[in-house]
Amino acid sequence: MYKILVSRTVEFKAPFQFVVDSIEDWAHFGHLHRKSIAGLSLLSKSDERTIFLYKARRLYPLPVYDYYIVFREEMPSQYGFRNVYINAKTGASHTLEVKAEWQVDRAIVVGDHLFSLPSYWRWLPKFFLRLFLQVYHWRMDKILDEDFEWIYERMTMEGPPASGSCAPAIPESYDVLENSFKKKSSEVADAIFQYRIVENFDGKCRLRFAEKKRNHP
């Protein structure tokens, strides 16, 4: 693999708590960053750790996506988090660690993004690496602009921001396995197809009995 580290430092002249909220509240991403994120699905939540499925847009508005399983750990003492992104198709992974601190009159947010690229990137012309970084910064700047607008809305409006009201609530604990089997499969299925397979002892003959049932008209 060819690993590259991209570190970005952003200064926010805004209330520190608003900045921290924009970092910690990942549920707002799908609503606020629609041009970058096509969907988020919670898989597991326990204490400071969360696992979710992330559907990322490659280039808005083209219907081309990448799917990642994201392992996220909140770091309250550093007002940040760390994520591991695993590409659901290739298995490749990269990490993101974000920390924030208050200095005099502004919030300083540092994000370290470690990418794992295929080994052949070592021998590609430097043009491709510059293009990769240019696209990365372009995408991150778009997200940053949207975060700025969200923070500004909170600073200038009374009451909760309208953008935040569309973000789904994050439960204290969640497990997709437990949630999926809370009810029997036969209770939630719209159509049931039952098959019984019988094979003789030497495995040369197979007898199949199929029965189809429907629990709706």
Give me the domains of the chain, ranges plus CATH numbers: 2-177 (3.30.530.20), 183-214 (no CATH)
Which residue(s) pair with 11 in the sheet? 108
Measuring CA to CA, which residue among 1, 8, 23, 37 is closest to residue 136?
A: 8
Instruction: Give the pLDDT confidence score for residue 190 in this predicted structure.
Output: 83
Q: Rg (Cα) of the chain, in Å, rounded?
A: 23
Return the sign of the alpha-carbon dihedral for residues 181, 184, 188, 194. positive
Instruction: Give the pLDDT confidence score for residue 217 in this predicted structure.
Output: 42
Measured CA to CA, the distance from residue 99 to residue 78 in angstroms comes to: 6
For residue 97, what is the DSSP state?
A: E
Show pLDDT as tens, one digit a residue, over the chain (217 residues): 899 999 999 999 999 998 998 888 877 777 788 888 888 899 999 988 999 999 999 888 889 999 999 999 999 999 999 999 999 999 999 999 999 999 999 999 999 999 999 999 999 999 999 999 999 999 999 999 988 888 888 888 765 555 444 556 677 888 998 988 888 888 888 888 777 766 655 555 555 555 555 555 4
Q: Using CB atoms within 10 A of its CB, is residue 134 exposed (0-12), middle (13-18) or buried (19+)?
A: exposed
Q: pTM (2 decimals)?
A: 0.81
Instruction: Give the pLDDT confidence score for residue 167 in this predicted structure.
Output: 57
Question: CB within 8 A of 172, min separation 6: which ones?
Answer: 45
CA distances 200 to 169, 203, 207, 210, 211, Å, are: 54, 5, 8, 17, 20
Instruction: Give the pLDDT confidence score for residue 201 in this predicted structure.
Output: 57
Helix (H, G, I), strand (E, B), or coil: what is residue 119?
Answer: helix
Residue 93 host element (H or E): strand 93-103
Instruction: Give the pLDDT confidence score for residue 2 in this predicted structure.
Output: 93
Instruction: Give the pLDDT confidence score for residue 165 in this predicted structure.
Output: 46
CB 26 within 8 A of CB 10: no
Strands (E), 13-76: 37-46, 49-57, 65-75
Measured CA to CA, the distance from residue 65 to residue 54 in angstroms comes to: 10
Instruction: Give the pLDDT confidence score for residue 199 in this predicted structure.
Output: 62
